Chain A
């Protein structure tokens, strides 16, 4: 069964460093998303992406964040200068319909 994959599974970085989180969405899906979940808290929307453009972003997705689909299979989230409060699980999701979203296993980001 097709699934969303994410790499790395765990990333440790120092405050102020740049990180790139990678996702391979389900192959025939056209809608892509990033969410995050701080430990013990609910899952929160960051950004949605379609046709090489951001469709919607939340207040969390400030100028330090960017997304890109560099080729036909990858979808990336870049955090330019990480802060301690960026520590969280980051989930990529994809959808073929805009209704049902399928989530990847997540990348645990730890900022020290």
Chain B
């Protein structure tokens, strides 16, 4: 059983399209982080959301934390080929040092 379910698993779109990827759980998280990972490299932190209902924007990327702090979404506007990569969500269930539980990720491919 996955603590964090990410959907879709794969997403292939044309440049300029908008997209949303989801990260869902039945558990409550004290914070949730989104990372991007390239093949053979470590996850790179994009954003951390902490408050239920919180929305954060990073250029064309919009991140939302659900009101109940059980889910999150990542919306990309006008996707570009440079957005291609594996997007991971990771949640902290409130342990002392913030042990992260990762989802399996969404592999995004943006075609020119």
Which of B90, B97, B102 neighbours the largest number of chain A CB atoms within 10 Å of its CB?
B97
Binds A, one of B12-20, B39-47, B56-64, B65-73: B39-47
Report, as a range, how many residues of chain B touch the other chain.
20 to 34
Contact across chains for B33 and A100 when beta carbons are under 8 A apart: yes
Interface residue tally on A, bucketed by range? 20 to 34
A55 touches B102 (CB 8 A): no
Quick check: B42 and A91 within 8 Å, CB to CB? yes
Contacts of B1 in A (CB 8 A): none
Name the B residues within 8 Å of A105 (CB-CB). 41-42
Residue of chain B at shortest CB distance from A6: B42
Using A42-B104, A43-B43 as known contacts, list a sample of 10 further A-B pairs with CB atoms less than 8 Å apart, ordered by residue number in A: A42-B103, A43-B100, A45-B101, A48-B95, A48-B97, A48-B99, A56-B96, A56-B97, A101-B45, A103-B42
Which residues of B line the A interface, CB within 8 A? Answer: 31, 33, 35, 40-45, 48, 50, 88, 90, 92, 95-105
